[in-house]
Amino acid sequence: MSRASRVSILEIVDSALVAVLLVFCLLRPFVIQAFYIPSGSMLPTLQEGDRILVNKFVYFVRAPKPDEIAVFNAPPAASPDDKDFIKRITGAPGNRLCVKDSALYRDGERLAEEYIAEPPNYVWPDPDHCVSVPPGNFVMMGDNRNDSNDSHRWGFWDPDTGEWQARPFVPRENILGKAMVIFWPPQRIRILH
């Protein structure tokens, strides 16, 4: 092989590596990112050790919707060290939510949540009140409702003062993207709903 051919091949390889690096640098922060599931808070939908792909672009063009599974930066009430969490969006701005009678109610309607591990064994925020989700905020809950560090643990209603203690909401700007697919392990590959 001539010296000119070797230089040409090296230039092609170099250009290809730069192109791959640029695509990766552009895709990861804005389009798609892989995440590892570290806990059972989303059982049975997501299992500990699953690896998922998250669409980070979708929420640039539209708002997150209730019942979607989303990755977000945890609020201070959930995690003081700014971890990424994954939960189901159970409430959007304007929704009224409460958990009673072993079920989640949104805007007065009992939700049929076939995807949860078991019915909630708690009342939230209390037996006589619902939570109104303020503009620009969301309520997030794990599918494993009874064993999930989620909105129902981050805040509560104080009937004596008529005010919230702590904050059960996730601001819109904290939501990173929509979970789309489990890609690992191979026997768990599937699209998420």
Per-block average pLDDT, block size 10, for the chain (193 residues)? 62 74 66 92 97 95 97 86 91 96 96 94 86 95 96 76 76 96 96 92
Res 119: pLDDT: 95
pLDDT of residue 165: 64
- State the DSSP code for 61: H
How does strand 32-36 pair with strand 190-191? unpaired
Q: How far apart are the C-alpha atoms of 175 and 136, rounded to whole Å?
A: 11
State the pairing for strand pair 84-91/51-55: unpaired
Q: Would you state the pLDDT for residue 6?
A: 56
Which pLDDT score is estimated for 183?
A: 95
pLDDT at 26: 66
Q: What is the predicted pLDDT for the residue at 5? A: 58
Least Cα distance to 166 among 87, 99, 77 occurs for 77
Q: Give pLDDT, residue 112.
A: 94
Predicted TM-score (pTM) of this structure: 0.83
- Joined together, the tokens standing for residue 171 give 């601001």
pLDDT of residue 8: 73
59 exposed, middle or buried (CB, 10 Å; 0-12, 13-18, 19+)? middle
> Contact at 8 Å (CB) between 118 and 146?
yes
CA–CA separation, 141 and 25 (whole Å): 31
Q: Do residues 34 and 52 make contact, with C-beta atoms less than 8 angstroms apart?
A: yes
Question: Which residues are marked as active site?
Answer: 41, 87
